[in-house]
């Protein structure tokens, strides 16, 4: 009976595994191969060039600008989004005799904060493009309205602030989802622990730092992985919002945008595939390091 069951499971899984191999693993394998060629997008016009595409990446100034910008986003976007999400989720759970009860109307606040998730990233980028408009945009209009005319500027045209303006949009569009995620994690913490902390005289900050944060650490770790992937991409926002696109002097250039331009504007699909492979390994490394760090912390706590 056991052998028959295993045979049935094998045959049941075979179609799914075949589809996964064809539509997931096969494109990866093709990308790895194309990154070793000088393919221009024309069928049969690919010559093996070995690692020359990867050596070229190391001296490509625009690609290095993209790597630098993605590295900045990798630090700022996850940290800012997780910090804001945790802060807002904690504020919605402050109060009550048990130290964890949600404030009145917390569900409504969550819906409001979650609203950007209902919009596509392209729509968000278009809307924020109007907000950042230097002549009649909402942001400069608000600054002028309160007498801060000196702070009004061309947010997406100045190299010193363009990338920060893009990162602000990414944080704004993501924080609502992680607010809801962290709120759900906090709701899953046993109520008795908060009651015990309250009886011990722990204040809101001590309760958050010593009780809430350690118990939602796994959720925060997953959030960092997903936000790191968002930060390593950033293609849609930069493509829609910035001039060029890529901003002034490559100020908002990202790897995904360099890949797209190299492939579909210049027809260098082999070189673009090398960029994609580099981005793949960067994302994979980020995920592995984040998951291993979380595992190490759990082992130390055990």
133-147: per-residue pLDDT in tens? 988 889 999 999 898
The verdict on residue 12 lying in a domain is: no
The answer to whether residue 190 is domain-embedded is: yes
Q: Which residue has the tokens 């704004």?
A: 172
Report the predicted TM-score, pTM, of the whole model to 2 decimal places. 0.85
Domain containing 182 equals 50-301
CA 98 – CA 207 distance, rounded (Å): 11
Cα 11 from chain centre: 37
Give which of 94, 39, 102, 101 is closest to 266, Cα–Cα. Answer: 39
Do the domain assignments include residue 172? yes
In a domain, 41, yes or no: no
Burial of 268 from C-beta contacts in 10 A (0-12 / 13-18 / 19+): buried
Locate 172 and state its tokens.
Answer: 């704004």
**Cβ pair 99, 207 in contact under 8 A:** yes
Q: What is the pLDDT of residue 187?
A: 85
> Peptide bond preceding 245: is omega within 30 degrees of 0, i.e. cis?
yes
Kindly state whether residue 5 falls inside one of the protein's structural domains: no
The CATH number that applies at residue 225 is 1.10.3720.10
What tokens does 233 get? Answer: 């991409």
Asked if residue 135 is part of any domain, the answer here is yes
Residue 42 falls within a domain, yes or no?
no
pLDDT per position as a tens digit, 131-184: 999 888 899 999 998 988 888 888 998 888 999 999 999 999 999 999 999 988
Compare 243 and 239 and report the one with higher pLDDT: 239
Query: Does 194 reside within a domain?
Result: yes
Q: What is the CA radius of gyration of the chain?
A: 24
Domain tally, the chain: 1
């Amino acid at each position: 009976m056991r052998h028959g069951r295993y045979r049935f499971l094998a045959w049941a899984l075979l179609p799914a595994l075949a589809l996964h191999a064809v539509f997931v693993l096969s494109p990866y394998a093709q990308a790895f191969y194309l990154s070793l060629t000088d393919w221009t997008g024309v069928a049969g016009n690919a010559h093996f060039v070995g690692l020359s595409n990867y050596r070229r990446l190391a001296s490509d100034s625009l690609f290095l600008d993209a790597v630098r910008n993605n590295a900045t986003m990798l630090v700022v976007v996850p940290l800012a989004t997780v910090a804001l999400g945790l802060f807002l989720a904690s504020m919605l759970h402050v109060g009550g005799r048990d130290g964890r009860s949600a404030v009145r109307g917390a569900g409504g606040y969550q819906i409001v904060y979650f609203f950007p998730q209902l919009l596509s990233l392209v729509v968000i980028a278009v809307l924020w493009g109007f907000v950042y408009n230097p002549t009649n945009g909402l942001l400069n209009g608000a600054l002028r309205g309160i007498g801060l005319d000196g702070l009004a500027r061309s947010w997406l045209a100045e190299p010193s602030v363009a990338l920060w303006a893009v990162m602000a949009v990414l944080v704004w569009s993501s924080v609502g989802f992680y607010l809801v995620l962290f709120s759900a994690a906090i709701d899953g913490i046993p109520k008795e622990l908060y009651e015990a902390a309250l009886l011990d005289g722990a204040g809101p900050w001590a309760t958050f730092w010593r009780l809430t944060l350690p118990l939602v650490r796994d959720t925060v770790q997953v959030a960092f992985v997903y936000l790191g992937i968002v930060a390593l991409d950033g293609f849609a926002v930069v493509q829609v919002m910035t001039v060029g696109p890529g901003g002034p002097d490559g100020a908002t250039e990202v790897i995904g945008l360099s890949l797209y331009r190299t492939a579909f504007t210049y027809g260098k699909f082999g070189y673009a595939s090398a960029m994609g492979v580099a981005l793949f390994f960067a994302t994979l490394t980020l995920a592995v390091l984040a998951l291993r760090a979380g595992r190490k912390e759990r082992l130390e706590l055990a």
